[in-house]
Structures are given as structure tokens and as C-alpha cells.
Amino acid sequence: MESQPKLQNPENIITLIQHEHPLQLVDLQPCYPDYTEYSDDEEEDRVIKWDFNSPCNQCGKVINVYHRICREPFGLEYLWIYKCESCRYFVHLDCATTSRSADIGKTIKNFEDADHPNLLNLPFPDHTYSILQHWVSQESGSTTAETSERNLKHICHEHVLSLVGTQSNDSKGASSSSASSLSCHNPMKRIELLCNGCVRPIMDVPFYKCSSDDQRCDFVLHEWCTRLPELRNYPGHTHTLRFLPKVSENIFGIFKCQICELSCNGFAYGCTKCQYYIDVNCGFIPDEITHEAHPDHILSRCDRRSMRKRCVAEGTYVYGSKICFSCESCHDFYLHSDCALFLPRIINHKLDKHPMKLTYGPVENHKSEYFCEVCEEELDPTKWFYHCNVCAYSLHTRCAPVILNFQAAYNNYGSLYAFLNIKFGGMYNIKGHEHSVSLALGSDADGKCPICPYDVIKDIIIKCQKCKLAMHYKCCRD
């Protein structure tokens, strides 16, 4: 004898305001096409897992359940769901029947805009925006100062910086023709141009470039990165954090940020007395944000090192990450600060002629399985991904190349952002080696480090192009 669902007398066919087609009540019996059964026979009873392998389009949780089949007369209890026969749209019975008259997934706004005039609304529209750009525009009303000098001598660099001021990269009064030899960052063409200050892509003009005739000098800066202030009363440290164009503890200027815990070789704010350093992006992470994925509630900055909560974007634990955002009104919404700040709303990719949008759950009327067009692996639609509604193409966030080394970092470290704050390249002179070396990302061809010796693949290395030397950065530093 089959037991009844918890909600008595469910309707066989219902309609929801969130979906254009009627939904049919079905039970996940062994004959159902997407049904998988797992059993563990025992003397007294056996346990069965019904795994539907698809998320609920309302709550986003995977539809599966464990039930126990006992001896007679208790019988079997089925898992009931509502399914659209026209497309891959599935809803838990509870999700459908308890919110028929409401817009499921919507929340009531718990704050007034007038009380938070400078609230940062995320995600940023596209790759051209950053947290520093936002802060400068809030302070000065514009991201580009009208009085920007065409030739600037800045404490961050030994040479004069020239302003590159047109889309064609023609310099305005630059003292050297080399100032017009760069193309802006374009991941679709594998062109990388990273700012030496914030280590973020330079997507548009104007920006500053070293005017030296030395072709080995690849120093470039966003215009707004020349106007960074001192940090005072920064939470988490008792001393004033001063602006440091380079952390001078080693010749490569690489330090570990105390906030995001990532290695960085860009500008820093720091206390040399305590050897406390943070990268300039982390210096301006706000205390509160809103996000399109959870628009009606304020997300507050918090420290969750002692809690094992999952980031809604990646599905990985926020444990071990010093900064994340959480919703005080909800108990299950946690978001890594990196996922909040570095995943733009719209990206362009060479595989699709249309812009792809950051998507936070299963797509309406998606008729097939989800897989990534780049790596061709399965894609979990309950995690954030990029999607084209026209072509029905989808991408993992890790496969969307905002920074060209994202995917390599993920494959090696299991983190999307492992090399986010490292600008590879440059020229350095190290003791005991006759040639100049540069920072690089280790590859298969680089073999083993002569110091440790372990493989250098997908790690930060020191590399000499002339004699093919390749060693771990940490080994060279030590």
C-alpha cells in the first residue's frame, strides 16, 4: 500500500505565474526516464535513494530523496514533483503548492534606498568596471580627471608615464612613440594588458604607459590608479596603512594579501612595522552591497573563517576566506567577495557572437542537459554560469576568460582566482644569474625546478628565455 504525499490531495495539473506551461504531477517511480535507483539490501530492510539528477527551478536545490522501504504493511513512499511536459522545468511538490499565489523566489525589500545612498550594486555591468573605478567615480564624480597630466612622474615608477588617450592608442603629446604601441585588453583575441597597480585589465583609454624607449618595460596604469589615497582607520589593523607602490621585501614585489589571502605583485596598502599588507582592491571592499542574485536584501561584509558555509556562486565553502558577504535576513546566502566583485553581468566570448549573461539558476525553457561550451564538461545550473539565451550556449564562470590565467589557476589550485593578483612578465636581475629573468606561469615544457626539485607546471616561476632556466618563485625567493 502506497503512502500519500505530505500535502494532502495535490492537484494533477497546476499553473504557476513563474512558468508559461502547465505543470503535471508525477512520481519518481523506477520506470521514470530520469530515475536512478541505489539500494543497500539488509536483513531487516533496505534503503533506496531516488536521484532525479535535476534541480528544482524554484528553490534551486537538487531533487533527490532518501526513503526506507520497510516490511509490510508500511510499503513504499514515492517522491512527488511537478514537471513541465514541454520543457525541462521541475518543481518540488512543496515549492509548488505552498506558494501558488506568490512569486516564488522573490523577497520583500528590507531597506530604503535613501538610507544607503552610496550602496554598491553588483554585478558590475562588464569587464571595464572595477571596485577602484567605482570608488574614484564616487569620490570625484568621474573615473577620469579632466586635468590628467599627459606626462606624469609618479612615485610608482622610475620613468615618466605618458597618457594614452584614444581608442586607437594614439598618444596625446607623449614624449615617446612607444606610448602608442599597445592594444587594450581583449580576451577574445588573447591580448592581455594588465594594470601594474590594481592588476586588473585595462579595457579602454585613457591609461598611462611608461614612455621609456626600453622595450622591456611593460609598466601601464589605469588613470584612476594614479590617484589612490591613504587609508586611515582601516578595520582589522590598528595602524595607518600607507600606500606602497611596491612591497620591498623581495625584488619581485610579491606579497600575500591579509584580506583575500592571494599572492599579489601590484600596489599595496601596508604597515611595514607589522608586515601587514593588503592589495589596493581589498582596501576598498565596502561593508555593504546588493547583488542582482539577491536584490531585495543588503549583503553585509563578514568574517566566516570559523563557519562552513557554501558560496552560492561556486558551491565551494567560504570557510578559510576572510571576506565574504552574507544576508542577515536569510540563513543560507553567502557569497565570496571575489565572486561578487570579479564576475561581471555581461561577457563576450569568441564561441558566441552574442553577449553572454551571468545566470544564477536553471534557465526557463532549457530543453537539454547543461554543459560548458569551452571545457565540454557537465555544468551544474544551480551554480552561477554564463548563458546566451539566443544560442542556448553556457559557460562555467571559470571558463570565461576575463583574466587569461583563470582556467590554469583553477586546474592547479581548485580556485578560480589563484593568480588574479599576479601580473606575469617584467624583467628582473637576480643574484647568481647573468641574464634577466621574468615571472611566468609554469608549463609542461618547463620541467622540474632545479632547487626543490618538483614540477613547475601551473605555478608561479622565474624563467630565463635565453638559457631556459625555470624555477619556482618561492625557491628563488628563499
* Full pLDDT tens readout for the chain, 478 residues: 344 344 455 677 777 766 667 888 877 655 444 444 444 444 444 444 455 556 777 766 667 654 333 333 333 444 678 888 777 778 877 777 654 433 434 557 878 888 888 889 999 988 778 888 888 877 766 656 555 678 888 888 888 999 987 444 443 444 444 445 678 877 777 788 899 999 988 888 889 999 887 777 889 999 989 888 888 778 778 888 999 998 877 778 899 998 888 889 999 999 888 899 999 998 888 889 999 998 889 999 886 555 677 888 988 777 665 678 998 887 778 898 888 988 899 988 878 888 899 999 888 767 678 888 888 888 888 889 999 988 889 988 878 765 555 555 555 555 667 788 899 988 888 877 888 898 988 888 888 998 888 888 888 899 998 888 888 988 877 6
Non-local CB neighbours of 374 within 8 Å, separated by 6+ positions: 349, 351, 395, 396, 399
Same domain, yes or no: 17 and 93: yes
What does the pLDDT read at residue 24?
Answer: 83
In a domain, 140, yes or no: no
What does the pLDDT read at residue 155?
Answer: 85
Quick count: other Cβ atoms within 10 Å of Cβ 157?
A: 20
In a domain, 197, yes or no: no
What does the pLDDT read at residue 197?
Answer: 93
Same domain, yes or no: 93 and 21: yes
CATH of the domain at 385: 3.30.60
Q: Cα 66 to the chain's mean position, in Å?
A: 33
d(CA 337, CA 322): 9
Of 97, 118, 151, the position where a domain reaches its end is 97
What does the pLDDT read at residue 33?
Answer: 47
What does the pLDDT read at residue 394?
Answer: 92
Burial class from Cβ neighbours inside 10 Å (0-12, 13-18, 19+) for residue 30 reads exposed
What does the pLDDT read at residue 147?
Answer: 57
Q: What is the pTM of this model?
A: 0.70
Of 79, 97, 115, the position where a domain reaches its end is 97
Cβ atoms of 256 and 277 within 8 Å: the answer is yes
* Domain residue limits at 66: 13-97
Same domain, yes or no: 28 and 91: yes
In a domain, 412, yes or no: no
In a domain, 225, yes or no: no
As for how many domains the chain has, the answer is 3
The one-letter amino acid at 103: D
In a domain, 171, yes or no: no
Same domain, yes or no: 88 and 29: yes
What does the pLDDT read at residue 141?
Answer: 61
- Give yes or no for a cis peptide into 30 (omega within 30° of 0): no
Same domain, yes or no: 25 and 86: yes
Same domain, yes or no: 91 and 20: yes
Same domain, yes or no: 40 and 87: yes
Report CA-CA distances (Å) from 428 to 62, 114, 438: 51, 51, 6
Of 74, 97, 120, the position where a domain reaches its end is 97
In a domain, 190, yes or no: no
In a domain, 468, yes or no: yes
Cβ atoms of 356 and 393 within 8 Å: the answer is yes
Same domain, yes or no: 372 and 434: no
Q: Where are the alpha helices (DSSP H) in 4-113?
A: 93-97
Same domain, yes or no: 18 and 93: yes
Report CA-CA distances (Å) from 123 to 76, 131, 188: 47, 11, 21
Same domain, yes or no: 68 and 36: yes
H/E stretch holding 471:
strand 469-472
What DSSP line would sit under 221-241, residue for residue?
Answer: EESGGGS---B-S-TT-SSPB
In a domain, 116, yes or no: no
Same domain, yes or no: 17 and 84: yes
What does the pLDDT read at residue 29?
Answer: 57
- Three-class DSSP labels, 168-207: CCCECCCCCHHHHCCCCCEHHHCECCECCCCCCECCCCCE
